[in-house]
Amino acid sequence: MKHLKKYNEGFFDFLRKQSEDDKIVDTFIKRLKKIKGISPYDITFSDDGTVQEEQYWSKYRVEFEDVPFRISKLEADKKYRNGWGTETQKGYLESGAVKKSNHIFYGIFTFPMGEEVRVTASLRKTEELFELIEEVYKKDLNARRIKKIRDELNDAADLMDDEIYPTSESIYEREVVFTNKRNPRLVITVKKSPDGRITEIENESGIRFPFSVGQLLQRNVEVWACNNNFLMDGKDTCPEKKIFGIKTKDVPQGHEWRHIYRNKF
């Protein structure tokens, strides 16, 4: 009968007319469901207040531009068979928390104009929001991790790629001129023998050149040129900027990526 009662409560909760608090939570849910990778909103997680083998806090905060919000889940350790004490539960409920069981309570706070205002939605909506923000937060972290790696990948670092380093490139010519992209007066001229060994370096730029006379001018010089903003015989050795493998020039005007990754355009 105990389980039947819980079932009926959930059933009638489903049929019950939405409260204004539920509608607010629905607004948050609709926004979060649109996020597929990196979130345009700052999302933070905290477990402050957690005491191992006693109680466990999980708190997420989403910085919406209009009304930021925080959702918390407080869970009593399983060693407490009956969960939180009666007085403790009463205090949580009086403060507007939402009860799932004697062990688990939820709380939602919004911050309109910087003021802390509690939202008391139904258990169904509150749980839906919490589970969704957990999922969005994990996907956001993973997408940012991948982006950090991809942003540092440089096609010019592939020293075995014949398309990047064809044998007809200037690296096999007798003289190579490096010109700074920002200040064309900064020039480094490298002369070398037919076998690629450096015979002379003219460098009045004040910038350290990674090779010296007698060394072979190797293919990774193009990586150095890219990283230090130099053209190599008038050519830009940096690979075209990409976002998730897509060239920036192929991203349509008005696309959300142009807003999120402005430094790429």
- To which H or E segment does residue 70 belong? strand 69-76
- Percent of the chain scored above 90 by pLDDT? 53
Domain-located, residue 247: no
Please list the helix, strand and coil fractions of the chain in percent, rounded to the nearest 5, in that order.
35, 25, 40
Domain hosting 197: range is: 155-238
Q: Is the pLDDT of residue 237 over 80?
A: yes
Quick one: pLDDT at residue 2? 40
User: Mean pLDDT over residues 235-258, rounded?
Assistant: 67
Q: What is the number of structural domains in the chain?
A: 2
Token pair recorded at residue 246 = 């897509």
| Same-domain check for residues 215 and 100 | no
pLDDT digits (tens, 9 = 90+) for 67-98: 999 999 999 999 998 998 999 999 999 999 99
When pLDDT is cut at 50, 70 and 90, the band that residue 239 belongs to is: confident
| Same-domain check for residues 176 and 226 | yes
- The residue written with tokens 């010109």 in the block is 179
Alpha helices in 66-200 (DSSP H): 86-94, 123-152
Domain-located, residue 225: yes
Domain-located, residue 176: yes
Amino acid at 196: G
User: Mean pLDDT over residues 249-255, rounded?
Assistant: 65
Quick one: pLDDT at residue 171? 47
| Same-domain check for residues 68 and 87 | yes
Quick one: pLDDT at residue 156? 64
**Higher pLDDT pick, 247 / 170:** 247
Last residue of a domain, one of 152, 182, 199: 152
When pLDDT is cut at 50, 70 and 90, the band that residue 265 belongs to is: low
Among 67, 57, 171, 180, which Cα is nearest to 118's?
A: 67
| Same-domain check for residues 118 and 75 | yes
Amino acid at 69: F
Alpha helices in 112-172 (DSSP H): 123-152
pLDDT digits (tens, 9 = 90+) for 171-188: 445 789 999 998 988 999
Mean pLDDT (the chain) is 83
| Same-domain check for residues 194 and 228 | yes
pTM: 0.56
